[in-house]
Chain A
Amino acid sequence: MTLAKLIEQLDLKVYTGRNELTRPISGGYASDLLSDVLAHGQKDQLWVTLQIHPNIIAVAAFKELAAIVLVNGREPAAETVELARKERVSIIGTPLTAFEFVGRVYGLGIQGT
Protein backbone atom coordinates (compact mmCIF):
# COMPACT_ATOMS: atom_id res chain seq x y z
CA MET A 1 0.00 0.00 0.00
CA THR A 2 1.14 3.56 -0.66
CA LEU A 3 1.16 6.41 1.80
CA ALA A 4 -1.47 8.23 -0.29
CA LYS A 5 -3.87 5.28 -0.06
CA LEU A 6 -3.41 4.99 3.70
CA ILE A 7 -4.01 8.72 4.18
CA GLU A 8 -7.22 8.48 2.19
CA GLN A 9 -8.48 5.34 3.94
CA LEU A 10 -7.81 6.58 7.47
CA ASP A 11 -8.49 10.25 6.81
CA LEU A 12 -5.04 11.33 8.04
CA LYS A 13 -3.73 14.85 8.20
CA VAL A 14 -0.64 15.60 6.09
CA TYR A 15 1.80 18.03 7.70
CA THR A 16 4.77 17.56 5.36
CA GLY A 17 5.77 15.40 2.41
CA ARG A 18 2.94 15.89 -0.05
CA ASN A 19 5.42 15.00 -2.81
CA GLU A 20 6.40 11.68 -1.24
CA LEU A 21 2.96 10.09 -1.10
CA THR A 22 3.63 7.43 -3.71
CA ARG A 23 6.04 5.81 -1.29
CA PRO A 24 5.18 2.22 -0.46
CA ILE A 25 4.62 1.20 3.16
CA SER A 26 6.06 -2.10 4.30
CA GLY A 27 4.92 -2.25 7.90
CA GLY A 28 5.34 -0.15 10.97
CA TYR A 29 6.94 0.42 14.33
CA ALA A 30 5.42 2.14 17.35
CA SER A 31 7.70 3.71 19.97
CA ASP A 32 8.40 7.01 21.67
CA LEU A 33 12.05 6.19 22.37
CA LEU A 34 14.35 7.49 19.65
CA SER A 35 17.15 4.94 20.15
CA ASP A 36 14.59 2.14 20.10
CA VAL A 37 13.44 3.23 16.65
CA LEU A 38 17.04 3.62 15.50
CA ALA A 39 17.57 0.01 16.60
CA HIS A 40 14.35 -1.62 15.41
CA GLY A 41 12.77 0.56 12.77
CA GLN A 42 13.10 -0.62 9.18
CA LYS A 43 13.17 1.01 5.78
CA ASP A 44 9.72 1.97 4.42
CA GLN A 45 7.94 1.49 7.73
CA LEU A 46 5.47 3.87 9.33
CA TRP A 47 6.70 5.21 12.65
CA VAL A 48 3.90 5.76 15.16
CA THR A 49 4.83 8.17 17.96
CA LEU A 50 3.78 11.15 20.01
CA GLN A 51 7.19 12.85 19.95
CA ILE A 52 6.99 16.11 17.99
CA HIS A 53 10.44 17.72 18.37
CA PRO A 54 12.95 18.06 15.49
CA ASN A 55 15.04 15.03 16.49
CA ILE A 56 12.37 12.73 15.07
CA ILE A 57 13.39 13.86 11.58
CA ALA A 58 16.93 12.52 11.95
CA VAL A 59 15.54 9.20 13.16
CA ALA A 60 13.13 8.92 10.22
CA ALA A 61 15.76 9.95 7.67
CA PHE A 62 18.60 7.79 9.02
CA LYS A 63 16.28 4.74 9.01
CA GLU A 64 14.64 5.61 5.66
CA LEU A 65 11.20 5.33 7.25
CA ALA A 66 8.18 5.94 5.02
CA ALA A 67 6.54 8.45 7.34
CA ILE A 68 6.17 9.65 10.90
CA VAL A 69 2.63 9.31 12.24
CA LEU A 70 1.80 11.63 15.14
CA VAL A 71 -1.02 10.23 17.25
CA ASN A 72 -3.44 11.76 19.78
CA GLY A 73 -3.85 14.80 17.55
CA ARG A 74 -0.36 16.03 18.32
CA GLU A 75 1.01 18.61 15.93
CA PRO A 76 4.68 18.82 14.92
CA ALA A 77 6.73 21.71 16.34
CA ALA A 78 7.52 24.50 13.87
CA GLU A 79 11.23 23.56 13.69
CA THR A 80 10.23 19.96 13.10
CA VAL A 81 8.14 20.95 10.07
CA GLU A 82 10.95 23.11 8.73
CA LEU A 83 13.54 20.33 9.00
CA ALA A 84 11.11 17.74 7.58
CA ARG A 85 10.54 19.90 4.49
CA LYS A 86 14.27 20.34 3.99
CA GLU A 87 14.99 16.63 4.37
CA ARG A 88 11.84 15.46 2.57
CA VAL A 89 10.43 13.50 5.49
CA SER A 90 6.67 12.90 5.58
CA ILE A 91 4.80 13.75 8.77
CA ILE A 92 1.17 12.76 9.03
CA GLY A 93 -1.24 12.92 11.93
CA THR A 94 -4.32 11.32 13.41
CA PRO A 95 -6.56 12.13 16.38
CA LEU A 96 -6.56 8.42 17.26
CA THR A 97 -4.46 6.92 20.06
CA ALA A 98 -1.45 4.81 19.08
CA PHE A 99 -3.37 1.62 19.96
CA GLU A 100 -6.40 2.60 17.88
CA PHE A 101 -4.32 3.79 14.94
CA VAL A 102 -2.15 0.68 14.80
CA GLY A 103 -5.28 -1.46 15.00
CA ARG A 104 -6.82 0.24 11.99
CA VAL A 105 -3.59 0.02 10.00
CA TYR A 106 -3.33 -3.68 10.84
CA GLY A 107 -6.90 -4.08 9.66
CA LEU A 108 -5.84 -2.73 6.27
CA GLY A 109 -3.27 -5.50 5.97
CA ILE A 110 -0.17 -3.58 6.97
CA GLN A 111 1.68 -5.63 9.58
CA GLY A 112 4.62 -5.03 11.89
CA THR A 113 7.42 -6.60 9.92
Chain B
Amino acid sequence: MTKDTVFRQEFPVKGGDFSRAGEVSWEIKNLLKELGLSTPVVLRAAIASYEAELNIIMYAWEGRLVLSVTPGRVHVVVEDSGPGIEDIELAMTEGYSTATLEMRELGFGAGMGLANIKKNTDAFLITSEVGRGTRLELTFLTNGQRP
Protein backbone atom coordinates (compact mmCIF):
# COMPACT_ATOMS: atom_id res chain seq x y z
CA MET B 1 0.00 0.00 0.00
CA THR B 2 1.40 3.36 -0.98
CA LYS B 3 0.75 6.62 0.85
CA ASP B 4 -1.69 7.86 -1.76
CA THR B 5 -4.01 4.86 -1.42
CA VAL B 6 -7.51 6.26 -1.19
CA PHE B 7 -9.19 2.97 -0.53
CA ARG B 8 -8.25 -0.55 0.47
CA GLN B 9 -10.36 -3.55 1.35
CA GLU B 10 -9.79 -7.26 1.76
CA PHE B 11 -12.33 -9.90 0.76
CA PRO B 12 -11.91 -13.53 1.87
CA VAL B 13 -13.04 -16.33 -0.48
CA LYS B 14 -13.63 -19.93 0.59
CA GLY B 15 -12.73 -22.76 -1.77
CA GLY B 16 -15.60 -24.99 -2.86
CA ASP B 17 -18.32 -22.60 -1.70
CA PHE B 18 -20.42 -22.08 -4.83
CA SER B 19 -23.34 -20.71 -2.83
CA ARG B 20 -21.53 -17.38 -2.48
CA ALA B 21 -19.90 -17.35 -5.92
CA GLY B 22 -19.68 -13.84 -7.29
CA GLU B 23 -20.40 -12.02 -4.02
CA VAL B 24 -16.93 -10.51 -3.79
CA SER B 25 -17.03 -9.32 -7.40
CA TRP B 26 -20.40 -7.66 -6.86
CA GLU B 27 -18.98 -5.86 -3.83
CA ILE B 28 -15.95 -4.71 -5.79
CA LYS B 29 -18.17 -3.52 -8.61
CA ASN B 30 -20.42 -1.55 -6.24
CA LEU B 31 -17.51 0.00 -4.34
CA LEU B 32 -15.77 1.16 -7.52
CA LYS B 33 -19.02 2.60 -8.79
CA GLU B 34 -19.53 4.46 -5.52
CA LEU B 35 -16.01 5.86 -5.84
CA GLY B 36 -17.18 7.42 -9.10
CA LEU B 37 -14.98 5.46 -11.53
CA SER B 38 -16.13 5.23 -15.14
CA THR B 39 -18.42 2.35 -16.11
CA PRO B 40 -15.93 0.67 -18.49
CA VAL B 41 -13.27 0.51 -15.75
CA VAL B 42 -15.78 -0.68 -13.15
CA LEU B 43 -17.02 -3.45 -15.45
CA ARG B 44 -13.54 -4.57 -16.53
CA ALA B 45 -12.52 -4.83 -12.86
CA ALA B 46 -15.76 -6.67 -12.01
CA ILE B 47 -15.27 -9.23 -14.81
CA ALA B 48 -11.61 -9.91 -14.00
CA SER B 49 -12.40 -10.14 -10.27
CA TYR B 50 -15.26 -12.52 -11.02
CA GLU B 51 -13.06 -14.91 -12.99
CA ALA B 52 -10.39 -14.78 -10.27
CA GLU B 53 -12.92 -15.28 -7.48
CA LEU B 54 -14.42 -18.29 -9.27
CA ASN B 55 -10.98 -19.83 -9.76
CA ILE B 56 -10.40 -19.73 -6.00
CA ILE B 57 -13.79 -21.33 -5.41
CA MET B 58 -13.25 -23.98 -8.10
CA TYR B 59 -9.60 -24.90 -7.59
CA ALA B 60 -8.16 -23.58 -4.32
CA TRP B 61 -8.74 -24.21 -0.63
CA GLU B 62 -9.03 -20.63 0.43
CA GLY B 63 -7.94 -17.23 -0.70
CA ARG B 64 -8.68 -13.55 -0.84
CA LEU B 65 -9.00 -10.57 -3.13
CA VAL B 66 -7.41 -7.34 -1.96
CA LEU B 67 -8.76 -4.25 -3.66
CA SER B 68 -6.85 -1.00 -3.50
CA VAL B 69 -7.52 2.21 -5.32
CA THR B 70 -5.03 4.98 -5.88
CA PRO B 71 -5.43 8.07 -8.04
CA GLY B 72 -5.30 6.73 -11.59
CA ARG B 73 -5.32 3.03 -10.71
CA VAL B 74 -7.34 0.14 -9.40
CA HIS B 75 -5.34 -2.79 -8.06
CA VAL B 76 -6.67 -6.24 -7.27
CA VAL B 77 -4.31 -8.77 -5.71
CA VAL B 78 -5.68 -12.31 -5.69
CA GLU B 79 -3.94 -14.84 -3.46
CA ASP B 80 -4.88 -18.38 -2.62
CA SER B 81 -3.57 -21.38 -0.83
CA GLY B 82 -4.29 -24.29 -3.08
CA PRO B 83 -2.77 -26.81 -5.47
CA GLY B 84 -1.10 -24.11 -7.58
CA ILE B 85 -0.67 -24.25 -11.35
CA GLU B 86 2.05 -26.46 -12.78
CA ASP B 87 2.09 -25.11 -16.33
CA ILE B 88 0.91 -21.51 -16.42
CA GLU B 89 1.19 -21.25 -20.19
CA LEU B 90 -1.08 -24.25 -20.60
CA ALA B 91 -3.55 -22.87 -18.03
CA MET B 92 -3.66 -19.58 -19.95
CA THR B 93 -4.52 -21.40 -23.19
CA GLU B 94 -8.14 -20.80 -24.16
CA GLY B 95 -10.16 -23.98 -23.81
CA TYR B 96 -7.86 -25.71 -21.33
CA SER B 97 -9.69 -26.55 -18.12
CA THR B 98 -9.50 -29.06 -15.31
CA ALA B 99 -13.02 -28.20 -14.10
CA THR B 100 -15.15 -31.15 -13.01
CA LEU B 101 -18.15 -32.37 -15.01
CA GLU B 102 -20.41 -30.90 -12.35
CA MET B 103 -18.84 -27.45 -12.73
CA ARG B 104 -19.09 -27.67 -16.52
CA GLU B 105 -22.78 -28.45 -16.36
CA LEU B 106 -23.27 -25.13 -14.58
CA GLY B 107 -21.41 -23.35 -17.36
CA PHE B 108 -18.11 -22.97 -15.55
CA GLY B 109 -14.93 -24.46 -16.95
CA ALA B 110 -14.87 -22.91 -20.41
CA GLY B 111 -11.12 -22.57 -19.96
CA MET B 112 -11.36 -18.87 -20.70
CA GLY B 113 -11.10 -17.35 -17.23
CA LEU B 114 -7.41 -16.47 -17.16
CA ALA B 115 -7.61 -15.21 -20.75
CA ASN B 116 -10.58 -13.03 -19.77
CA ILE B 117 -8.64 -11.66 -16.83
CA LYS B 118 -5.70 -10.79 -19.05
CA LYS B 119 -7.95 -9.17 -21.65
CA ASN B 120 -9.71 -6.96 -19.12
CA THR B 121 -6.63 -5.72 -17.26
CA ASP B 122 -4.04 -3.11 -18.20
CA ALA B 123 -1.35 -5.16 -16.46
CA PHE B 124 -1.54 -8.76 -15.33
CA LEU B 125 0.98 -10.81 -13.33
CA ILE B 126 0.57 -14.44 -12.38
CA THR B 127 2.83 -16.55 -10.20
CA SER B 128 2.15 -19.97 -8.76
CA GLU B 129 3.83 -22.60 -6.66
CA VAL B 130 2.64 -26.19 -6.95
CA GLY B 131 1.24 -27.47 -3.66
CA ARG B 132 1.14 -23.98 -2.14
CA GLY B 133 -0.97 -21.58 -4.13
CA THR B 134 -1.41 -18.95 -6.81
CA ARG B 135 -1.09 -15.17 -6.86
CA LEU B 136 -2.48 -12.75 -9.45
CA GLU B 137 -1.90 -9.04 -9.63
CA LEU B 138 -4.43 -7.11 -11.69
CA THR B 139 -4.05 -3.45 -12.58
CA PHE B 140 -6.67 -1.23 -14.19
CA LEU B 141 -5.89 2.32 -15.25
CA THR B 142 -8.74 4.65 -14.44
CA ASN B 143 -7.84 7.56 -16.67
CA GLY B 144 -9.55 5.93 -19.62
CA GLN B 145 -6.30 5.30 -21.48
CA ARG B 146 -5.48 1.70 -22.22
CA PRO B 147 -1.86 0.97 -23.19
User: Which A residues are within 8 Å of any B CB, using their own CB?
Assistant: 32-36, 38-39, 49, 51, 53-56, 58, 61-64
Other-chain residue from A54, A55, A56, A62 in contact with B47 (beta carbon distance below 8 A): A62
User: For A32, what are the chain B residues with a Cβ–Cβ distance below 8 Å?
Assistant: 107
In Å, the complex CA distance between A44 and B46 comes to: 18
Contact at A38–B106, with CB atoms within 8 Å? no
Q: Contacts A39-B115, A39-B116 given; indicate if A58 touches B25 (C-beta within 8 A).
A: yes
List the 10 closest pairs (A to B, CB-CB), nearest first. A35-B112, A33-B110, A35-B110, A58-B22, A34-B107, A51-B107, A62-B46, A62-B47, A36-B110, A32-B107
Nearest chain B residue, comparing its CB with the CB of A36? B110
User: Contacts A35-B51, A35-B116, A58-B50: A64 and B43 contacting too (C-beta < 8 A)?
Assistant: yes
Asked if A55 meets B22 with Cβ closer than 8 Å, knowing A34-B107, A35-B110, A38-B116, the reply is yes
- Residue of B at shortest CB range from A37? B107
Question: Which A residues lie within 8 Å of B51 (CB)?
Answer: 35, 38
User: Which residues in A have their C-beta under 8 angstroms from that of B110?
Assistant: 33-36
Q: Is the interface of B mostly helix, strand, loop or mixed?
A: helix
Q: List 5 A-B contacts (CB under 8 A).
A: A38-B50, A51-B107, A54-B21, A58-B25, A62-B50
B120 to chain A, nearest CB (A): 9
Expressed in whole angstroms, the Cα–Cα distance for A38 and B46 within the complex equals 11
With A and B bound together, what is the CA distance between A28 and B29 in angstroms? Answer: 24
In the complex the two chains form, what is the Cα distance from A61 to B29 in whole Å? 10
Please name the residue on chain A nearest to B43 by beta carbon.
A62
Q: Check B22–A54 contact: CB distance below 8 A.
A: yes
Q: Which of B21, B43, B113, B119 contacts A55 (CB 8 A)?
A: B21
Residues of B within 8 A of A53 (CB): 106
Minimum CB–CB distance from B63 to chain A (whole Å) comes to: 18
Q: Complex: how many Å from CA A39 to CA B47?
A: 9
Q: Report B-chain residues with C-beta under 8 Å of the C-beta of A38.
A: 47, 50-51, 112, 116
- Residue among B51, B110, B115 with the most chain A CB within 10 A? B110
Chain A residue nearest in CB terms to B23: A58
Tell me which of A36, A39, A55, A63 contacts B106 (CB under 8 A): A55
A63 to B47, CA, bound (A): 8
Whether B7 sits at the interface, judged by CB under 8 Å, is no
Render B43-75 as a binary contact track against A, CB cut-off 8 A, 1 for contact.
100110011000000000000000000000000
